[in-house]
Each structure stands twice: as C-alpha cells, then as structure tokens.
Structure 1
Amino acid sequence: MARTKEFDPDAALRAALELFWRRGYEATAMSDLVEHLGIGRASLYATFGNKHQLYLKALDLYAGEHGPVMMEELSRPGPALPAVRSVVRRFAAEAGSGDSRLLGCFVTNTAAELGPHDAAVARRVQLSWEQVETLLHSALLRARAQGELAGDRDPRALARMLLVLMQGLRVVGKASEDPARVRDAAEQALALLD
C-alpha cells in the first residue's frame, strides 16, 4: 500500500521559495531545506527532485504569483499611464524600504546568481522579463492610442527601458540604504513618459 504524504507539498514549496529567496541558491544546502521545511530528505527528493529542480519549481511559483498581479494592474480599463506609473513607483517603494528591500526580486536575484551559467534558469528569467515587457508594452500602446503618450514615442523601447529600470531598482535597493536613490531614478525615468 502506498504511503500518504505527511506534509503539504504546496506549503513546503512556498517554504522552499522563502528560504531560497532569503539566502540564494548556492548558500542554501539541501540540509538547510530539510531543516527549514521539516521534511525528511527522502520525501523531499521524492516530491520535488534534487535541489535544482526544487529551485526551478520555486521560481515558477514566484513568477506564477507575481505575473498576474502586474497583469491586473496594467490591464485595467481607462487611462493606462497612471497604471504604468503606479507599477514603477511600487517597484521603487519596495526596493527602497522594509524587508522587501533586502530580499529584492526573486527573479532579479536569480538572474544575477544563476542566469549566466544555468540555461534552465536563464529561460525562466527571460520568460518572466518578456511577460513584464509585454505587459508594459501593451499598456504603453494603449496610452499612445488614447492620447496619453505622444505619438512619436516608441512603446516597445519605453517598455524595455522600464523593465531594465525596474530590475535595476531591485538590485540597487538591496545594497543602498538611501530610498531616495531608487525613488529619484524611478521619477526621472517616468518623466520620459510626459
């Protein structure tokens, strides 16, 4: 007879995400995961595979939760530029203060730590960035069509600039104790939308 799982795989995956997010991939040993999740090593391997597979699942969970929030923000009917500004300002606020400042963005952290030498991670990071860029691009196209954005502005280039800015805000925010640094950068970038 098959044994039933003595833990909630969804809760365990969330706990793994939190640990990876706080420590990074390399600084998180399998023994750390076993201790943090309160799951035996064999059960952890049987459910999630090795550490790398668990990390990829945690990255997928993060992307699956954060993508829809931004999609909802940027897809609301009505004026589009206020939504774009709100998203960028939220990134700046999170990057400039509190626990979220120290954690950064899990995708950004992953890109910096593993992206250059891990193809599976790099694909997921690229998909996440493409999704954000597409959402921003769509909102900026709508803004231009509604007369909020000048007709000579390139929505694709602006979307790419904002994506790079938002990722950079998270990196700088982790190391800077001056919230004005990220806030001012965000406001200067947003001025390009006027």
Structure 2
Amino acid sequence: MGRPRGFDEEVVTAAAAELFAGRAYDGVSVDDLVQQLGVHRNSLYKTFGSKRGLYLAALRWHLDHRLPPLTEQLAAGAEVADDPALDLLLLAAVERAPRDVEVAALVTKAWQELDQALQRAPANHTDGTRSTALNALLGERLRARATAATTDPS
C-alpha cells in the first residue's frame, strides 16, 4: 500500500490557481510549482499528471470558487470594482485558450456565466450598459496587471 498523500489537494490546487493567476501558465515552471506549493515533483505528477493537469485543475477550482461571487455581484447590479478574480480567466483566455481546446471550453463557459449574470441584473441597466460595465471591468484588470508589471521590479 502506498504512502498517504502528504498534502491537501484542494489547498494545493487553490495555491496553484493563485500562482498561475499571477504569472500565467508559461511564467510558471514545474520547479516553481514544486517550490511554491511545497509538493514533491513525484507527488505533483502522481496527483495531477502534468503541469497542464494541475493548470486545468487550478482553472476549474478558480472558476468554481472565485468567479461565482463576482457573477453574483454582477447579477445584483452592484458596482464591481477592479477584481483580481478575473486575472486567471483573462490569462487563460489570451494565453492558453487559443491553443488548448479544454481551456477554451472552460473560458467560454465562464464568459457565458458572466453574460448570464449581466442578463439577470436589474432592468434599469440597458444591455449596452451591462456589456460596457463588464468590458470596463476586464479592461481595468488588464490595465492593473500591466501597470503592476511595469512598477514591480521583481
């Protein structure tokens, strides 16, 4: 019988989601994952199969746990401030979705959930205002990331 797993898979997946949200898929090496997550390389491969397997698990976790509060705010018609919950989704959309069909499907589903949340927003918002608000929010996140990248020396 094998050794019991020495880590909580959900905790590692959530931490990986944060790491990928901060540095993107191509900006995170397997060595980075091992070092930052505190998981042995063999354990990582045994549990997730590959870096891509961990990335997909992290993206699913992120979309299941970080995106719903944002969609609830949008559906309620609340003003949504610049929200880092969009970071991994944005990075997945531009970096991985164009060349990975599974990532593309997850990103498409997330966009649909955001669109549906906007459709549930109070009627005093016009459709144009709804999509404009979401586009502005996405633009703010992109701008915040770009600004942080130019001001953070690390």
Global fold match (TM > 0.5): yes
Cα RMSD (Å) of the superposition?
2.3
Please say if 1:132 is aligned against 2:134: no
Q: Which amino acid aligns with 1:165?
A: A
Unaligned runs of 5+ in 2: 149-154
Q: How has the CA–CA distance of structure 1 residues 4 and 176 changed in structure 2, closer, same or farther, with 3 Å as cutoff?
A: closer
- 2:98 aligns to what SS in structure 1? coil
**Residue in structure 2 matched with residue 42 of structure 1 by the alignment:** 42
* TM-score (norm: length of structure 2): 0.82
Q: Cα deviations across residues 110-132 of structure 1 (Å, max 9, x unaligned)?
A: 21212222211111111111101
- For the 8 Å contact 1:104–1:173, the answer to whether it is kept is no
- 2:26 aligns to what SS in structure 1? coil
Give distance in 2, aligned partners of 1:163 and 1:71. 10
Return structure 1 stretches of 4+ with deviation > 2 angstroms. 70-75, 157-166
Q: Which has the larger radius of gyration?
A: 1
Q: How has the CA–CA distance of structure 1 residues 117 and 68 changed in structure 2, closer, same or farther, with 3 Å as cutoff?
A: same
- 1:105 aligns to what SS in structure 2? helix
- 1:115 aligns to what SS in structure 2? helix
The number of residue pairs the alignment matches comes to 148
Unaligned runs of 5+ in 1: 95-99, 178-194
Please say if 1:30 is aligned against 2:23: no
Give distance in 1, aligned partners of 2:71 and 2:114. 8
Give distance in 2, aligned partners of 1:120 and 1:162. 28
Q: How has the CA–CA distance of structure 1 residues 107 and 10 changed in structure 2, closer, same or farther, with 3 Å as cutoff?
A: same
* TM-score (norm: length of structure 1): 0.67
Q: Which amino acid aligns with 2:12?
A: A
**Residue in structure 2 matched with residue 183 of structure 1 by the alignment:** none
Identity of aligned residues (%): 33
